[in-house]
Amino acid sequence: MSVLDRRLLRETSLGLAHKLWRVSWLYVLLLCLLAGVGFAALYSVSGGSLTPYAGKHALRFAVSLVVMLAIAFTDIRFIARLSWLAYAGSLALLVLVLRIGHVGKGAERWIDIAGVQWQPSEMMKIALVMALAAYFRKATWERMGDPLFLLPPALMVAAPVALILKEPNLGTAVIVAAVGAAVFLAAGIRWWKVGLMLGLIGIAAPIGYAHLHAYQRARITTFLHPERDPLGAGYNIIQSKIALGAGGLWGQGFLHGTQGNLDFLPEKQTDFIFSMLAEEFGYVGSLAVLGLLALIVGGALAMALGCRHRYGRLLAVGIGMNFFMYVFVNVAMVTGAIPVGGVPLPLVSQGGSAMLMVMVGFGLLMSAWVHRDADFGDEPPSGV
């Protein structure tokens, strides 16, 4: 081995050691704890068995964790160059899923890739954040006030939202729109402009309601009056509320939830897994899980503040908002605060592609943190 080869090997080794040191291992621990909560919940769902959910959950998380760390060690500037390709590929898959996608529960949401079912809308959540971060990376405050400058990113958000609504998947479309709005705000758009857009959406809501599918209108009606059809459309949310209340302060105990064990609670491995946790671990256990989720969201925002480059800051905000919206929609759904929308609890509910994409997002977040001092060379000074 030549002197040059030895020097390059030494620099590469030092670079890897430096990156290992800069990884937020506390944050990784928080993710592992959350996945552990999911493992315990799915173990209980299966009646105290690793099959069919808990074992797969652990294996999927292990693989996803490796993927996350691999992305974390990848230079954030290289990731930034892939942003537009990721967005274009995800948009193409959204178009494709409308033509050849797997139909489930009245909606075309899944597509088979290499024998594995994927939900392109989950990929789009991450790709949209990357693309918006790349677009706003060099923007100055003056340009953020130019409507023509804001038109392309607005269309970048509107296109996937429209395609996801076409599937139809209202819950995911709302999350994608919220994530896009968060990146806009972090980039420097004025609050009154966001308020104006929300006002226009509110005005258009009655028109949108008239164009909803029958099952979507039924969800809204059930949300307002679940007692009208307690054995039909209102069954899920009624049973979820019963499970939440049955837990009391300390819960009925691990593996001893009556609603879950007697199969009254529907979709307890996916949409309503938080209800089952509340039944078994009570109010105290529910608060502990919510506290863990809040720490993960707060950690993402802290990493955003610690990044010296705009791309990383915007990326971190978008990833954090995506995770927050997952949690908000799921918990609000199972408690009856919003209509049921079929959104899982991240890293807790059963599901392979959703978990992988969430961990890919956290890998991007961690890459922004590990390379928080990276010099892009063409970004305006902070605050400009």
- How much is the pTM? 0.90
Q: The tokens 């995911």 sit on which residue?
A: 172
Minimal CA–CA distance to 34: which of 261, 251, 319, 297?
A: 297
pLDDT of residue 81: 95
Residue 185: CA count within 13 A, CB half-sphere: 15
Please write down the long-range contacts of 239-245, taking CB distance under 8 Å and 24 or more positions apart. 239/264, 239/265, 239/266, 239/272, 239/275, 240/265, 240/272, 240/275, 240/334, 240/335, 240/336, 241/335, 241/336, 243/272, 243/275, 243/276, 243/278, 243/279, 244/275, 244/278, 244/279, 244/334, 244/335
Tell me which amino acid residue 221 is.
Answer: T
Residue 71 lies inside a defined structural domain of this protein: yes
Which residue type is seen at 309?
H
If one counts the domains in the chain, the total is: 1
**What band does 176 get if pLDDT is binned at 50, 70 and 90?**
very high
- Residue 273 burial by Cβ neighbours in a 10 Å radius (0-12, 13-18, 19+): buried
Least confident window among 25-29, 177-181, 192-196, 233-237: 192-196
Q: How many residues does the chain have?
A: 384
Cα–Cα distance measured from residue 197 to residue 199, given in angstroms and rounded to the nearest whole number: 5
| Residues whose CB falls within 8 Å of the CB of residue 8, separated by 6 or more in sequence, listed in order | none
- CA-CA distance, 245 to 382, in Å (whole number)? 49
The pLDDT tens digits of the residues spanning 9-67 come to 554 454 778 888 999 999 999 999 999 999 999 999 988 999 999 999 999 999 999 99
The span from the CA of 57 to the CA of 36, in Å, is: 9
Asked if residue 35 is part of any domain, the answer here is yes
What pLDDT, on a 0 to 100 scale, did the predictor assign at position 87?
98
Quick one: how far is CA 181 from the chain centroid? 15
Beta bridge partners, 113, equal 116
pLDDT band at 171 (very low <50, low <70, confident <90, very high): confident
Q: In angstroms, rounded to a whole number, what is the distance separating the alpha carbons of residues 219 and 206? A: 16
- Give the span between the Cα atoms of 245 and 240, in whole angstroms: 9
CA angle 327, 329, 334 (to 5 degrees): 95
CA distance 131 to 155: 12
Q: What pLDDT is attached to residue 276?
A: 92
Provide the mean pLDDT of the chain. 85
66 lies in a domain? yes
Q: How far is CA 132 from CA 127, 209, 247, in A?
A: 9, 29, 43
H-assigned helices in 225-351: 235-246, 258-261, 273-306, 310-334
Q: pLDDT band at residue 8, thresholds of 50, 70 and 90?
A: very low
- What is the predicted pLDDT for the residue at 167? 81
For residue 378, pLDDT beyond 60: yes
133 has pLDDT over 80: yes
Rg (CA), the chain: 22
* Percentage, residues of the chain above pLDDT 70: 82
Would you say residue 153 has pLDDT above 70? yes
- Quick one: pLDDT at residue 60? 95
Best CA proximity match to 292, nearest among 69, 37, 24? 37
pLDDT at 183 over 60: yes
Per-residue model confidence (pLDDT) at position 2:
58
Long-range contacts of 29-36 (CB under 8 A, 24+ apart): 30/292, 30/295, 30/296, 30/299, 31/65, 31/68, 31/296, 31/347, 31/359, 31/362, 32/61, 32/65, 33/292, 34/292, 34/293, 34/296, 34/346, 34/347, 34/348, 35/61, 35/347, 35/348
CA distance linking residue 331 with residue 273, whole number of Å: 10
With a cut of 50, say whether residue 4 has pLDDT above it: no
Name 117's bridge partners. Answer: 112
Residue 363: which domain range?
24-370
Per-residue model confidence as pLDDT tens digits over 285-321: 999 999 999 999 999 999 999 999 999 999 999 999 9
How much of the chain, in percent, has pLDDT values that exceed 90?
54
Residue 189's pLDDT band, with cuts at 50, 70 and 90, is confident
How many angstroms separate the CA atoms of 329 and 344, rounded? 9
Cβ-contact 303, 267 below 8 angstroms: no
Tell me the helix, strand and coil percentages in the chain, rounded to 5.
Answer: 70, 5, 25
| List of residues 6+ apart from 354 with CB closer than 8 A | 119, 122, 344, 346
